[in-house]
Structure 1
Amino acid sequence: MPKLVLVRHGQSIWNLQNRFTGWIDVPLTEKGKEEAYKAGELLKDIRFDVAYTSMLTRAQETLRIILETVGLLIPVIKDEALNERHYGALQGLNKDRAREKWGKEIVHLWRRSYDIPPPEGESLKDTAERTIPFLERAIMGDIKDGRDVLVVAHGNSLRSIVMYLEKLGPDEIIKVEIPTGTPIVYELDENENIISKEIRHLEE
């Protein structure tokens, strides 16, 4: 059965600084590069046929390190459908400063509700509306052809994919956290049903 593996990029500079990142292109920290290397170590048993990533450097660099660690040279497809949720007016702001500016409750609502976007930005629902069609059209096509697929993307674009695969509702997906650099390995059947799910944790 084909495998679909999801990995959130390693820690970025703005993750470290507690800032809303969204579509701003920021690099990995040294810890983020180490997380990517460890994710690669955890995936050496899978011979991926194809990889997908976003148009953002932190995801592409994580993927590059993983493939280098695994020792694979495979096709890589980049698409902004897999980009992080666009945080609009929040992008670049420290999360604590955003709470001071708009209030703790409203910022929490923007971050954790399913369908309420921040000013000029996307909700998780908006993110899913671009991620899921790409998943169905491209990624699941490879799965149906029996290929093992690696997707390295972002917290919210990956949450959209998890929502689709695990058939979760809006109230369930908003509680799902996806840690940086932690592979989620799904084994799927020909009808996209999950045969098994394994979260491979990094060792400290």
Structure 2
Amino acid sequence: MTKLALIRHGQSAWNLENRFTGWWDADLTQQGEAEARASGQMLGALDADFRAGFTSVQTRAIRTLWLALTEMKRVWLPIEKDWHLNERHYGGLTGLDKAETAAKHGEEQVNIWRRSYDVPPPPLERGSTYDLASDPRYRGIDIPDTESLKTTLDRVLPYWEGRIAPVVSAGTDTLIAAHGNSLRALVKHLFEVPDDAITGVEIPTGNPLLIELDAKLKPVSVRYLDAARAQKLPALP
């Protein structure tokens, strides 16, 4: 069986401040760095031979992977960075305090924006503080102004099928360091999670989700490496 490890980045500065982050490039906190190193220690203790890594173009995911690989003594691993693995774009919610936003719009509405499958937040205004049009990493990319989990999956899935799946299909143990929603999108696909059930799937920071896949890339086992911090696992398809 081929092993696929999904790592949500460690705690970021905006996780700590309880702000909607999305595509904004918040860095890791000291706790986030510690979570990334702990992830690497757990991954290094596995009976696995990780030979490939993928991550987004966002600092918190990139640094999480590098810190983990340092602990694994595998900084030589070939890594591919791509914006298709970015966090979902939180649109006009970007930068806002989550509690204050709930007080203004109601917890039910904010929960719909955060957790529903196909309802995006209000769009981000062009030219606003968090507009990334001038960021060189996105040159030539049609940056979304908001995303739901569905539209996040719409960009993650072709990248999985075109770039990552061929590597895993070849029997290569693979790491993906990304974000809560880009990884939820991938989990939805791999485990065939229904639209109305994906709201119950949450991936904690800095706790690798280890999936064993058969030759057809169907999951045959799944577990969090840190059982004490595990969330509810997706059911095997």
TM-score, normalised to structure 1, is 0.97
Cα-to-partner distance string for 1:69-113 (whole Å, 9 max, x where unaligned): 000111100011000000010000100121233232211111111
Name the counterpart of 1:83.
Answer: 86
> Retained in 2: the 8 A contact 1:38–1:202?
no
1:32 aligns with 2:21: no
| Secondary structure of 1:174's aligned partner | helix
- What is the CA deviation profile of residues 45-71 of structure 1, one whole-angstrom value per residue up to 9, with x for unaligned ones? 332111000010000000000000000
Q: Distance in 2 between matches of 1:114 and 1:107?
A: 13
Aligned to 1:191: 216
Instruction: Output the aligned Cα RMSD.
Output: 1.2
Match of 1:140? 165
Kept in 2: contact 1:117–1:123 (CA 8 A): yes
- Whole-Å separation in 2 of the counterparts to 1:198 and 1:7: 12
TM-score, normalised with respect to structure 2 = 0.83
| Aligned mates of 1:40, 1:118 — CA distance in 2 | 34
What amino acid does structure 1 have at the position aligned with 2:60? R
1:9 is matched with 9
Which residue number in structure 2 is paired with residue 51 of structure 1?
53
Residue-by-residue CA offset, 1:104-127 (whole Å, 9 max, x unaligned): 221111111110000111100010
Contact 1:36–1:62 (CA<8 Å) still a contact in 2?
yes
1:68 aligns with 2:65: no
Q: Does structure 1 residue 92 correspond to structure 2 residue 117?
A: no
Q: In the alignment, is the contact (CA less than 8 A) between 1:18 and 1:94 conserved in 2?
A: yes
Q: Check whether the contact 1:39–1:202 (CA below 8 A) recurs between aligned residues.
A: no
Is the 1:6–1:183 Cα contact (8 Å) retained in structure 2?
A: yes
Identity of aligned residues (%): 47
Seen in structure 2, the aligned counterparts of structure 1 residues 105 and 195 have a Cα distance that, compared at 3 Å, is: closer
How big is the shift at 1:173?
1.1
Q: Which runs of 4+ in 1 moved over 6 A?
A: none
Q: Residues 99 and 39 of structure 1: is their aligned pair in 2 closer, same or farther, counting only changes over 3 Å?
A: same
Structure 1 equivalent of residue 137 of structure 2: none
Instruction: Give 1:202 deviation, angstroms.
Output: 6.8
Alignment partner, residue 175 of structure 1: 200
Structure 1, 9-18 or 168-177: larger mean CA deviation: 168-177
| Equivalent AA in structure 2 for residue 184 of structure 1 | L
Higher mean Cα deviation, 43-52 or 70-79?
Answer: 43-52
> 1:100 aligns to what SS in structure 2?
helix
Residue type of the partner of 1:75?
P
For 1:35 and 1:202, the matched residues in 2 are separated by 14
Aligned to 2:135: none
Aligned to 2:107: 104
Letter in 2 for 1:143: V
CA distance in 2, matches of 1:203, 1:166: 23
Task: Say whether 1:20 aligns with 2:9.
Answer: no
With over 3 angstroms needed to count, the CA separation of the structure-2 counterparts of 1:68 and 1:203, relative to structure 1, is farther
